[in-house]
Homo-oligomer: A and B are copies of this chain.
Amino acid sequence: MANALDSFFGAMSDPTRRAVIERLARGPASVSELHAPHAMALPTFMRHLKVLEDTGIVRSIKKGRVRTCHIDPEPLIAVQGWLAWQKEIWENRLGRMDALATSQEHFDD
């Protein structure tokens, strides 16, 4: 799990790679379609795609000369789980502090 989070967060720390995810969330696309809006050489873009494929969030299928990419949501769901877990612990803590403050008020009465 540690490695999956490392690589997912690392992959998402780049705006080009997030743009690819935003595009693929709308549906599968070929490598050329994904590359088109980005002002960078194809080999540079392919390195970004490889980072995304290595995390497992992007998968691709080659048919003839066209490689089509799509999202695999598994890593996204795992990461949302981690973030939600942190938020829950943090909110529970705030909830306990509120409860403590309220009971303290009653004690002061």
Chain A residues with CB under 8 Å of chain B are 2, 5-10, 12-15, 18, 21-22, 25-27, 71, 73, 76-77, 79-80, 82-84, 86-87, 89-90, 93
Copies in the complex: 2
Chain B hits for A80, CB < 8 A: 80, 83-84, 87
Which residue on B lies nearest to A10, using beta carbons?
A: B13
Interface residue SS majority, chain A: helix
Q: Complex: how many Å from CA A9 to CA B79?
A: 11
Q: Is the CB of A2 within 8 A of B15?
A: yes
A-B contacts, 13 of them at CB < 8 A, read A5-B15, A6-B15, A9-B10, A9-B12, A10-B13, A22-B86, A25-B87, A25-B89, A25-B90, A25-B93, A27-B93, A73-B87, A80-B87
Chain B residue numbers with a CB within 8 Å of A89 are 22, 25-26
Q: Are B25 and A14 in contact (CB under 8 A)?
A: no
Query: Closest approach, in angstroms, between the C-beta of A98 and any C-beta of chain B?
Result: 14
Min CB gap A88→B, angstroms? 9
Task: Return chain B residues, CB-CB under 8 Å to A7.
Answer: 13
